Amino acid sequence: MDRNATPANRVYSIDLWRGIIMVIMALDHVRDFFHYTAAVDSPTNLMTTTPALFFTRWITHLCAPAFLFLSGVSAYLAGQKRTKKELRKFLITRGFWLVLVELFIVTLGWTFDPLFQIFILQVIWAIGISMIILGLMVNLPTSYILTAGLLIICFHNLLDPAEAAQKGDVGLVWNLVHHANFSVVPLFGHHVMVIVYAFLPWTGIMLLGFGMGKLFTAATPAARRRKILYRAGISGIAIFLVLRMINHYGDPQFWTIQRNPFYTFLSIINVSKYPPSLDYIAVTVGISLIFLAATDRISKNSLPFFQVFGRVPFFYYVVHLYLIHTITVILFFIQGYGSKDIDAQRLPFKFRPDHFGVGLAGVYLLWIGVLILLYPLCRWYDQYKRTHAYRWLSYC
């Protein structure tokens, strides 16, 4: 079989949207490493942020939910070429592989600490655990998996009051499952683990993607797919708007009246990502669904810059971290820092002092430079995957 051949019914909007969110994600990570206030203040702190800085962060909220949703869709599509047993084995083994990648390869990219004094559990860990859970569920009817995803998404915030009553002291297991918000867990010696992504709400998003996977197959006419995606996306945004106006359930962070109407609007859309609230998921996944519907008719030759990134997301993710951190080291020395400043301070990144960096315009310039450097690497790897049949490529 010619590996360059492409199914006639392939939905290229998936590659396009995945590529766009990869590009947006890199902006957030460039900001983390290079913006001069990233270590000392939050870009969504309404007392100190600017609209440009706020939206630079807010737009990246789209990334992780899209990752998880499209991972679920991709798992369903992979199941069209495998038996249930084969799909279960693939999802579980790839899930464990991704957890190991998060602990050792991705963590090293973030920290540049070969002693691994800090292990970080972020989006790759959440995808890995969610794949394992999905793998254990694949023998269930797809409608059951879809229902499970919706139930998790809609009702996991019922756990918030009980967690608040514990004042954050919920223990390791519950931090891993639902509560974590950059929770620090001592391991051994000077080693700690930082839990950024509690997996349960993210698993709900992946189950939702798997449950909607049939929409992206030849079994669903394109017109019907677009209609369902539009309706689902608009419904998600409507749920977000209704719940935020009620301002009682759906997000543990209630909005408040600010110093002017615009900043009150920022408070309304300033939803919780750690863990992802119902409001956060509704608006971000809703936007993703609308985009997938609006771009459903694109061809494989449309916007290749983004589609290339979207076809090699794992490769892109790992390489972009090491590239950004390497550029950080270069700027670290250019700005006059020395060996005494290498160790991590508030952020767990070596070569990133608290008051290091550039302004927001500089962040955008560095982001564009990172993308220019990444594109030929990702295009090469995309071509390599298309022309080689090694089994390990399905894990990367």
Give dist(CA 59, CA 147) in Å, integer.
Answer: 28
Give dist(CA 66, CA 78) in Å, integer.
Answer: 18
Give dist(CA 301, CA 298) in Å, integer.
Answer: 8
Query: How much is the pLDDT for 199?
Result: 98
Cα of first residue to Cα of last residue in the chain, in angstroms, is 21
Of 373, 326, 357, 371, whose CA–CA distance to 27 is shortest?
371
Q: What is the mean pLDDT of residues 20-49?
A: 98
Give dist(CA 176, CA 235) in Å, integer.
Answer: 30
Give dist(CA 311, CA 375) in Å, integer.
Answer: 12
Residue 9 has pLDDT above 70, yes or no: no
With b meaning 16 or more CB within 10 Å and e meaning fewer, what string describes 205-222? Answer: bbbbbbbbbbbbeeebee
Query: How much is the pLDDT for 353?
Result: 96
Of 57, 56, 99, 74, whose CA–CA distance to 18 is shortest?
74
CA angle 76, 81, 82 (to 5 degrees): 85
Q: Specify the DSSP class assigned to residue 35.
A: B
Q: What is the chain's percent helix, strand, coil content, to nearest 5? A: 65, 5, 30
Query: How much is the pLDDT for 164?
Result: 87
Q: Which of 50-54, 194-198, 342-346 has the lowest mean pLDDT?
A: 342-346
Residue 210 has pLDDT above 90, yes or no: yes
Please state the length of the chain: 396
Residue 340 has pLDDT above 50, yes or no: yes
Helices (H) and strands (E) in the chain, counts: 16, 3
Furthest-apart CA atoms within the chain: distance in Å:
63
Q: What is the mean pLDDT of residues 364-373?
A: 98
Q: Beginning with the edge strand found earlier in the chain, give each strand of the sheet holding 183-188 in spatial order.
A: 118-121, 191-195, 183-188
- Rg (C-alpha) for the chain, rounded Å, is 21
Q: What is the mean pLDDT of residues 229-254?
A: 97
Residue 1 has pLDDT above 70, yes or no: no
Residue 8 has pLDDT above 70, yes or no: no
Residue 3 has pLDDT above 80, yes or no: no
Of 277, 211, 274, 220, whose CA–CA distance to 249 is shortest?
277
Q: Which of 2-11, 82-91, 305-314, 339-348 has the lowest mean pLDDT?
A: 2-11
Q: What is the mean pLDDT of residues 367-390?
A: 96
